């Protein structure tokens, strides 16, 4: 019997599709066109400077983002869940990490309205705030500074 080989072709996906459907896939808006930017991305991907919780209600100039999906096993149910780690990067390359789904969703809204970071003329003045949810929990959202 003859063995057949298949070729997998990567098709373009939207940012949301790529993050939701790929395990340990990442998006980074920092252009990887030089060695310094590549090193910066690697540094940020491995460890952010601070947690978003440490800068709540503090204005920052959002210049770039790093988003990575990962899988986590729910200890109570044993179910594998896809989570998202979001890192905000300011204009001085300080980085702030969170696994808040609310922050990620808020960032997607920002992209839908203001475009992706590589299309911005200037960094976006924002602050991250904590908001209550209907279920009694709390989450983070991005608030533009106008």
Distance separating alpha carbons of residues 106 and 108, to the nearest angstrom: 5
Which of the two residues, 13 and 9, has the higher pLDDT score? 13
User: pLDDT tens for residues 98-130?
Assistant: 999 999 999 999 999 999 999 999 999 999 999
- pLDDT confidence of 23, banded at 50, 70, 90? very low
User: What pLDDT sits at residue 10?
Assistant: 45
Neighbours of 69 (CB within 10 A): 19
Q: In the predicted model, what is the mean pLDDT of residues 87-97?
A: 97
- Domain coordinates of the chain in residue numbers? 15-144
Count of H helices and E strands in the chain? 3, 7
* Burial call 112-136: b when 16+ CB within 10 Å, e when fewer: eeeeebeeeeebbebbbeeeeeeee
Question: What sign does the CA torsion over 38, 42, 45, 49 have?
Answer: negative
pLDDT of residue 73: 87
Q: Which residues, in sequence order, are bridge partners of residue 96?
A: 50, 88
Cα angle 31-37-39, degrees, rounded to a multiple of 5 = 135
Q: What is the pLDDT of residues 39-83, one digit of tens each?
A: 999 999 999 999 999 999 999 999 999 999 888 888 888 888 888
- Place 21 in a pLDDT band, splitting at 50, 70 and 90: low
pLDDT at position 141 over 80: yes
How much is the pLDDT for 7? 41
Give the tokens for residue 4: 């057949």
């Amino acid at each position: 019997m003859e063995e057949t080989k298949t070729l997998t072709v990567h098709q373009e996906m939207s940012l949301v599709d790529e993050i939701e459907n790929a395990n340990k896939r990442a998006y980074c808006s920092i252009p990887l066109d030089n060695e310094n930017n590549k090193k910066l991305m690697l540094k940020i991907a491995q460890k952010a400077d601070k947690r978003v919780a440490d800068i709540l209600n503090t204005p920052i100039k959002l210049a770039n983002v790093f988003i990575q999906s990962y899988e986590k096993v729910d200890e109570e149910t044993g179910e594998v869940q896809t989570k998202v780690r979001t890192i905000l990067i300011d204009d001085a390359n300080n980085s702030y990490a969170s696994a808040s789904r609310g922050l990620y969703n808020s960032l997607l809204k920002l992209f839908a309205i203001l475009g992706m970071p590589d299309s911005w003329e200037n960094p976006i003045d924002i602050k991250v705030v904590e908001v209550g949810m209907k279920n009694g929990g709390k989450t983070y959202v991005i608030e533009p500074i106008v």
